Amino acid sequence: MSLLSISDLAAGYGPLEVLHGFDLEVNQGEIVVILGANGAGKTTTMRAISGMIARRGRIEFDGQDISSSSPDSIVRLGIAQVPQGRGTFADLTVEENMLAGAYVRRDEVQADVERWFDVFPRLRERRAQRAGSLSGGEQQMLAIARALMSRPRLLLCDEPSLGLAPLITQELFGVLKRLNAEEGLSILLVEQNANLALKVAHRVYLLETGNVVSSGSAAELAADDSIRKAYLGS
Amino acid sequence: MVKVNQGSPQHWALRTLGVALIALVVVWVPTQMSTSRIGQFSDAFVLIIAAMSLNLVLGFTGQISIGHSAFFGIGGYTAAILIKDHGWSPGYTFYAAAVIAFVVGCLIALPALRIKGIYLALVTLAVAVLFPTLVKWKKLAWLTDGAKGIDSVRYDEIPVWPILGELKGRDGRAVFAYWLAFVLLVITYLVCRGLVKSRFGRSLVAIRDNETAAAVMGVNLTVTKVLVFGASAALCALAGVLSTLRTGVITPEGQYVTLLGSIVFLLIMVVGGAGTLWGPIVGGLVYVWLDNTTRGFGSESDGVIGFLFGWSDQSPATLILGLALVIIMFAAPYGLVGLIKRLWAKVVIVVPKPAGTSLPTTGH
């Protein structure tokens, strides 16, 4: 069943059009990766889905048209975004960051905090610490945990591997995979790192200068020669 | 160095001691000090309230405003006009001033908050410059009495409050103004504390730290910014009412009605510690103390001051005040509250509760 269904999406900044009208779909329980180089329009796609910028075309979430909804109402519908560069609130403590993530909810908030602390034990150790004092990897964990606090059905992750050591990145992708397998969370992930992306993804879209140039299952794309050359370097 | 566990009996004892000390000073001032000293404290309270209101917008939400002197003026003029022209009892003008300033604050915020940083500073600066001119405008003279301003704004009779008993004469008025200012200060503090420590407050700090992340968390940026600006304007108007009731006068050139007022509020907030609840309190007390102390430094002073500044005909007061503030900012870049916290940590360390035992705070 299709959870997020995008058709003919065009968006940009002022007169500058970055996305030139493409289709994209995320099914219930899937991990979908948007793969692309710098400037391909990956982050712009994320912003368009979460309502941060003006966009044209049709975006349907769970059968509901959200192509002109405001960011806060989109969060309320069940789409959470982990912004690029983590965007943790440096002056709030780890726990306060989590509570801020639950901004759109009021019930069972504390229970959820503990629940995600179980998944990310290192955050529990640091719960009273300023988020600004965490390491990059911990901040990325916090950003994901914070996004989960809104109880999303779809998680948007904007390049979570950015600036992290390979080992930390692997751990992070392991967590995302587990969330998908155990909680049934659907994930739309933006990545430059094709090796990583193809390992976790069910399906992949290849984005080049604002257009989807190729899409298919992770296995299909990994087998495609031209893609291997351009993105896997072998 | 002593270590104290958070929430332990020792910790509570320390807190109780702190509150008792503050209470002692608060009662000591109006009962033991001279009328002029009491007046200085009332002045400080007024400035603290204004700085607290600015702190809400600038310190916690990160939206710069140099226009708060206008909200101060709106408060003062609302009180003066309602009391003199419409025979209102002064107490009710607080409500009216807060409501009017809230509405004006929200209206200014609507266009102003679409822009950021230096541009927002300029828009609010324009508001601050515009207000005195608007008040002086001939076509509004029927309302504001033009450049002359409005005087003799006061309680006809000093209200009788339960514990204070009957107060009389000039001294009695000073004591009453002191307590009135103190009560409003406590209310403002509690309002700010309630706002800041709530779900709403977290969204404010979230906006300050990372606007994009706050938005994808579901915080409605426009509504939140407009509301906090309105609330801040309303609190600042209370300070304006208070100031007018204490001095009995409001003019377009009044001390805190012009742009200078905005600068003073900003100074107090930053010197005390932006984004902290106690910053404006410490900053306000220090500012008024410095201002009054240095004001006495004439060109004919003796001693060090005379030696250093005796060559000048002018009073060095402003210069010394400015220097003192520069030194404070140099010694305490995070404000005086930050400095006090750092020094205090060398004496007593409050150990936070171990992980996993914090009390549930559901409902926020």
DSSP state of B60: I
Picking from A79, A29, A92, A11, the residue whose alpha carbon sits closest to that of residue A50 is A79
pLDDT of residue A37: 85
A167 and A196 inside one domain: yes
- A33 with A135, same domain: the answer is no
Q: How confident is the model at residue B361 (pLDDT cuts 50, 70, 90)?
A: very low
> Is A199 domain-assigned?
yes
Q: Per-residue confidence at B359, pLDDT binned at 50, 70, 90?
A: very low
B359 interface with A at CB cutoff 8 Å: no
- Asked if A88 contacts A128 with a C-beta cutoff of 8 angstroms, the reply is no
In sequence order, which residues have a C-beta less than 8 Å from that of residue B163 and are 6 or more positions away? none
Mean of the pLDDT values across residues A41-68?
Answer: 93
* Same-domain status, A100 and A165: no
For residues A108-116, give the mean pLDDT: 92
Q: Hey, what are B159's tokens?
A: 């209200």
Query: Which tens digits make up the pLDDT trace of B68-77?
Result: 999 999 999 9
Residues A185 and A218 in one domain: yes
**A127 and A159 share a domain?**
no
Here the tokens at position B345 are 């940590």
Q: Using 50, 70 and 90 to split pLDDT, how confident is the model at B159?
A: confident
Contacts of A118 in chain B (CB under 8 A): none
Which residues of chain B make contact with A106, given a CB cutoff of 8 A?
Answer: 199, 363-364
A226 with A118, same domain? Answer: no
Q: What is the rounded distance in angstroms from the CA atom of residue B76 to the CA atom of residue B49?
A: 14
pLDDT of residue B313: 66
**% of chain A residues with pLDDT over 90:** 71
Nearest to B46 by CA among B291, B292, B296, B235: B235
Of the listed ranges A131-140, B120-129, B166-175, B204-213, the one predicted with least confidence: B166-175
Angle between helices B221-247 and B35-54 (to 10 degrees): 170
Dist CA B47 CA B69 (whole Å):
11
Residue range A22-40: mean pLDDT, rounded: 92
| Model confidence band, residue A132 (pLDDT cutoffs 50, 70, 90) | very high
Which chain A residue has the Cα nearest residue B208?
Answer: A89
Summary mean pLDDT of chain A: 91
Q: Exposed (0-12), middle (13-18) or buried (19+): which is A223, by Cβ within 10 Å?
A: exposed
Task: Name the band, by pLDDT with cuts 50, 70 and 90, for residue B362.
Answer: very low
Q: Is the pLDDT of residue B350 over 90?
A: no
B304-332 pLDDT tens trace = 777 777 666 666 767 777 788 888 888 88
Which of B217, B219, B221 to probe the A interface (max A CBs under 10 A)? B217
Does residue B364 have a pLDDT over 60? no
- Write down the residue that tokens 């896997």 correspond to: A232
**Of the candidates A186, A234, A194, A184, the residue with the CA atom closest to the CA atom of residue A218:** A194
Residue A221: CATH number of its domain:
3.40.50.300
Q: Is the pLDDT of residue B88 over 50?
A: yes
Strand B2-5 with B348-351, pairing: parallel
A156 and A50 belong to one structural domain = yes
What's the pLDDT band for A139 if we cut at 50, 70, 90? very high
Residue B276 has pLDDT above 60, yes or no: yes
> Among the listed ranges A42-46, A58-62, B291-295, which one has the minimum average pLDDT value?
B291-295
A111 & A158 share domain: no
For position B154, what pLDDT does the model report? 82
Res. B300: pLDDT tops 50? yes
Torsion sign, CA atoms B62, B66, B72, B75? negative
Higher per-residue pLDDT: B201 or B364? B201
Chain A nearest-CA residue for B202 = A100
Comparing B250 with A192, which gets the higher pLDDT? B250
Question: Which of A177, A226, A225, A171 is CA-nearest to residue A199?
Answer: A177
**Does the pLDDT at position B297 exceed 80?**
no
Q: Does B341 fall in a domain?
A: no
Residue of B nearest to A81 (CA): B216
Residues of A with CB under 8 A from a CB of B: 50, 52, 70-72, 75-76, 80-81, 83, 87-92, 95-96, 99-101, 103-104, 106-111, 124-125, 127-128, 143, 146-147, 150
**Distances from the Cα of B362 to the Cαs of A111, A112, A116, B356, in angstroms?**
8, 10, 16, 15
pLDDT at A182 over 60: yes
Tokens encoding A93: 């403590």
**What is the structure's pLDDT at B132?**
94
Flag whether pLDDT at A134 surpasses 50. yes
Q: With 90 as the cut, is the pLDDT of residue A14 above it?
A: no
Main-chain dihedrals φ then ψ at residue B148, nearest 5 degrees: -70, -35
Which whole number is the average pLDDT over B20-42?
Answer: 91
CB distance A52–B216 less than 8 Å?
yes
Per the model's pLDDT, the better-predicted residue between B115 and A99 turns out to be A99
Both A23 and A126 in one domain: the answer is no
The confidence score (pLDDT) of residue B144 equals 86
How many other CB atoms are found less than 10 A from the CB of residue B151?
15
**ipTM, interface predicted TM-score of the complex:** 0.84
pLDDT: which is higher, A64 or B297? A64
State how many domains chain A has. Answer: 2
Rounded to an integer, what distance in angstroms lies between the CA atom of residue A161 and that of residue B273? Answer: 37
**How many A×B Cβ pairs under 8 Å?**
93
CA distance B361 to B60: 21
Does residue B1 have a pLDDT over 80? no
Residue B142 has pLDDT above 80, yes or no: yes
Residue B324 or residue B268, greater confidence:
B268
pLDDT digits (tens, 9 = 90+) for B281-296: 999 999 999 888 887 7
Last residue of a domain, one of A146, A165, A193: A146
- Tokens 């659907």: give the residue: A186
User: How many Å apart are CA A170 and CA A11, to the nearest integer?
Assistant: 32
Whether B94 is in a domain gets the answer yes
Q: pLDDT at residue A234 above 60?
A: no
A75 vs B216: CB contact, 8 Å cut-off? yes
Give how far B12 is from chain A: nearest CA, Å: 20
How far is B68 from B276, CA to CA, in rounded Å? Answer: 19
* Mean pLDDT across chain B: 87
Please report the pLDDT score of residue B188 as a whole number: 96
Q: What is the mean pLDDT of residues B46-74?
A: 95
For residue B238, being part of any structural domain is answered with yes
Residue A213, domain member (yes or no): yes
Q: Based on C-alpha coordinates, what's the Rg of chain A? A: 17
Nearest to B220 among A72, A80, A91 (CB): A72
Q: Which domain covers residue B225, as residue numbers? A: 33-271
Q: Does residue A102 sit in the same domain as residue A199?
A: no
Q: Is B352 in CB contact (< 8 Å) with chain A?
A: yes
Residues 6+ apart with CB under 8 A from B112: B120, B123, B124, B229
The total domain count for chain B is 1
- Higher-confidence position of B5 and A207: A207
Query: Residues A115, A60: one domain?
Result: no
HEC assignment per residue over B66-92: CCHHHHHHHHHHHHHHHHHHHCCCHHH
pLDDT band at B358 (very low <50, low <70, confident <90, very high): very low
Average pLDDT over residues B123-138: 92
- In the chain, the amino acid numbered B75 is G
Measured CA to CA, the distance from residue A88 to residue B213 in angstroms comes to 7
pLDDT at B301: 67
Looking at the structure, tell me whether residues A162 and A72 fall in a common domain: yes
What domain range includes position A118?
A: 90-146
B159 compared with A151, residue with greater pLDDT: A151
The confidence score (pLDDT) of residue B363 equals: 41
